[in-house]
Amino acid sequence: MFQQKDYEDKLREIASIGCGHIATRLAKMIHWKVEISLPSVWAEKSKSAEDVISFRGRMKLKFRKGFAIRNEFRVERRATDQLMPAEEMKGLVVQIMEEKTAKNLVRLLFNRTVEELDEIDKTALLRTFSDLAAYMTKAVGALIEEAISMEPAKMTETTLLAGITDSIKEQRQALGWIYFSTVNIYIKGEEGISFIVMLLPFFDIARVLPSSS
């Protein structure tokens, strides 16, 4: 039976642990304090991607240009475990940021100021955020006691709204319903520098949790 609160609590736990590790890792990279918001979590059987984003949120995000860095992950389950086929146990970690934030992160990470991001800058950001995404997938793996593998990261130029809604739509198509978390990560002392981390499992995490959890 679908228990919405249980599902939300489990995903909130993963998001908190994973983003906490992301913040710690990023703080070491840039030598600044990094903070995270409380996770927002949705477990919805009937709503669409647009339904879960408020009108005010849509207007706020609609025209903000930026980047979405996507890491697909897969659970490497034991061959003897028939609870859920391994090929179905996939998901996404998506990190979404405004162009201004991306430029400022280049400054903080690599000690250089850029007017426009070139391919070298984008490649460097892609590698950095792929490294950060690994901390989220490790949190997933630790909770379900399985190893996780990640596909190479992909970066797309998009609006913040499209980056979010497209990811939710992709999950809904794969899973059949909406089940994701968002966390905002902030650089303390650097006004306006923040990015969103989304975790979108394409499988029913609650079904594969060890019985002791």
Model pLDDT for residues 97-154, shown as the tens digit of each residue: 999 999 999 999 999 999 999 999 999 999 999 999 999 999 889 888 888 999 999 9
> What is the per-residue pLDDT for 103?
96
**pLDDT over threshold 70, residue 45:** yes
- Residue pointed to by tokens 């609870």: 83
Q: Is residue 37 part of a domain?
A: yes
Alpha-carbon gap, residue 4 to 191, rounded angstroms: 36
> What is the per-residue pLDDT for 212?
47
Considering only residues 92 and 78, tell me which one the structure prediction assigns the higher pLDDT: 92
> What is the per-residue pLDDT for 51?
84
Alpha-carbon gap, residue 78 to 147, rounded angstroms: 10
Domain count, the chain: 1
> What is the per-residue pLDDT for 136?
93
- The three-point CA angle 176-179-180 to 5° equals 135
Query: Per-residue pLDDT averaged across 182-205, rounded?
Result: 91
Q: Model pTM?
A: 0.90
**pLDDT over threshold 90, residue 89:** no
Identity of the residue numbered 56: R
Mean pLDDT of the chain: 88
**pLDDT over threshold 50, residue 205:** yes
**pLDDT over threshold 70, residue 55:** no
DSSP alpha helices (H): ranges in 33-75?
55-61
Alpha-carbon distances, residue 67 vs 11, 44, 101, 130, 160 (angstroms): 24, 26, 10, 13, 7
Q: Is residue 89 part of a domain?
A: yes
Alpha-carbon gap, residue 207 to 81, rounded angstroms: 13
> What is the per-residue pLDDT for 146?
85
Range of the domain at 14: 4-208
Q: Is residue 213 part of a domain?
A: no
Q: What is the pLDDT of residues 149-167, one digit of tens each?
A: 999 999 999 999 999 999 9
Query: Per-residue pLDDT averaged across 68-95, rounded?
Result: 80
Q: Is residue 24 part of a domain?
A: yes
**pLDDT over threshold 50, residue 213:** no
Q: Provide the CATH number for the domain around residue 119.
A: 3.40.1550.10
Q: What is the pLDDT of residues 58-75, one digit of tens each?
A: 767 778 899 999 999 998
Q: Is residue 101 part of a domain?
A: yes
Question: What is the DSSP secondary structure assignment for residue 204, as one 8-state letter?
Answer: -
